[in-house]
């Protein structure tokens, strides 16, 4: 994600990398990865955070929370920090969606300049 655009929120950082369709071996419109370190908590807490994030990401995909990017696919990585455990579902969803939208806007601006 060194080349992606990042945006932070309460308890998380979202990175977005736009990929052109020509360079794709995987034609999926977007892929998502989760990073939950030991700093977040023990294994039970980390897995709970992963499940919650996975659920929010699936909602985002179903509802189309991110604007479609013509002729591109996106890779999204969500990195959680310890504060994420204090958020309820609606707060978590709001943070993930807003950070992802901001990161995608940054990535689109970088893409236009290049």
User: Domains of the chain, with CATH numbers?
Assistant: 5-112 (3.30.230.10)
pLDDT at 23 over 80: no
pLDDT at 56 over 60: yes
**pTM of this structure:** 0.88
The rounded distance, in Å, linking the Cα atoms of 79 and 35 is 5
Percent of the chain at pLDDT above 70? Answer: 89
Is there a contact between 91 and 10 (Cβ–Cβ < 8 Å)?
A: yes
- Angle at the Cα of 12 from the Cα atoms of 83 and 43, rounded to 5 degrees: 60
**Residue 85: Cβ within 10 Å count:** 16
Helices (H) and strands (E) in the chain, counts: 2, 4
């Amino acid at each position: 994600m060194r080349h992606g655009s990042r945006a932070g929120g309460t308890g998380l950082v979202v990175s977005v990398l736009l990929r052109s369709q020509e360079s794709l071996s995987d034609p999926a419109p977007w892929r998502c990865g989760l990073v939950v370190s030991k700093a977040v908590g023990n294994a039970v807490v980390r897995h709970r955070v992963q499940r919650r994030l996975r659920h929010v990401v699936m909602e985002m995909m179903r509802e189309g929370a991110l604007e479609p990017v013509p002729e591109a696919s996106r890779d999204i990585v969500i990195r959680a920090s310890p504060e994420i455990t204090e958020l309820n579902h609606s707060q978590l969803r709001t943070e993930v969606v807003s950070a992802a939208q901001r990161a995608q806007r940054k990535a689109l601006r970088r893409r236009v300049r290049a």
